[in-house]
């Protein structure tokens, strides 16, 4: 179950691509674009990450941090970030603690096969840690520009 607009965003601490702990509460006073994605270096996830990278200056102008979360390891994130020059934070959640807290671990159907995985979802969290908008099942190519447009 996804969280709702108006909910307090669950705080968390996860390692970034360099193994340093990053907490949601570190960003109080900024808007946070928290996006969950299935896997580093897959076509859709790469397009989504590159779109966020391409729009990064716009997010900075709006005082918004961008954080990507997947089950990949910190080492995987490091290679992914280097390969595509990703300027934002990538967090590693192999135990799915944050993924499950935000309700994005869901049943998926792929070619008739049912499995569980991360459903590509983006949350916009306001300066006080409250969920401002929820974007379920986002499109990798348009997600970044949709959020920038929303931010005005």
Query: How many distinct structural domains can be found in the chain?
Result: 1
Which stretches of 15-112 are DSSP H helices?
43-54, 56-61, 74-84, 97-101
Q: Is residue 133 part of a domain?
A: yes
Catalytic residue among 45, 49, 104, 147: 45
What is the pLDDT averaged over residues 56-78?
97
pTM of the model: 0.95
Q: Is residue 2 part of a domain?
A: no
**Residue 50: which domain range?**
13-20+27-147
- CATH, residue 77: 3.40.30.10
Indicate whether 45 belongs to any domain.
yes
pLDDT at 110: 78
Q: Please provide the average confidence, as pLDDT, over all residues in the chain.
A: 96
Q: Is 50 a catalytic residue?
A: no
Cβ-in-10-Å burial (0-12, 13-18, 19+) of 117 comes to middle
Integer Cα distance of 137 and 2 in angstroms? 11
């Amino acid at each position: 179950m996804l969280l709702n607009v108006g909910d307090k965003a669950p705080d968390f601490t996860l390692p970034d691509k360099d193994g340093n702990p990053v907490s949601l509460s570190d960003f109080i006073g900024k808007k946070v674009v928290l996006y969950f994605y299935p896997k580093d270096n897959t076509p859709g996830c790469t397009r989504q990450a590159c779109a966020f990278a391409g729009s990064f200056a716009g997010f900075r102008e709006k005082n918004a941090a961008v954080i990507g979360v997947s089950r990949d390891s910190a080492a995987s994130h490091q290679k992914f970030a280097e390969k595509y020059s990703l300027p934002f934070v990538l967090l590693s959640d192999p135990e799915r603690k944050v993924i499950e807290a935000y309700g994005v671990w869901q049943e998926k159907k792929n070619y008739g096969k049912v499995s569980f995985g991360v459903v590509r979802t983006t949350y916009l969290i306001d300066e006080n840690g409250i969920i401002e908008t929820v974007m379920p099942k986002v499109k990798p190519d348009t997600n970044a520009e949709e959020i920038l447009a929303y931010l005005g």
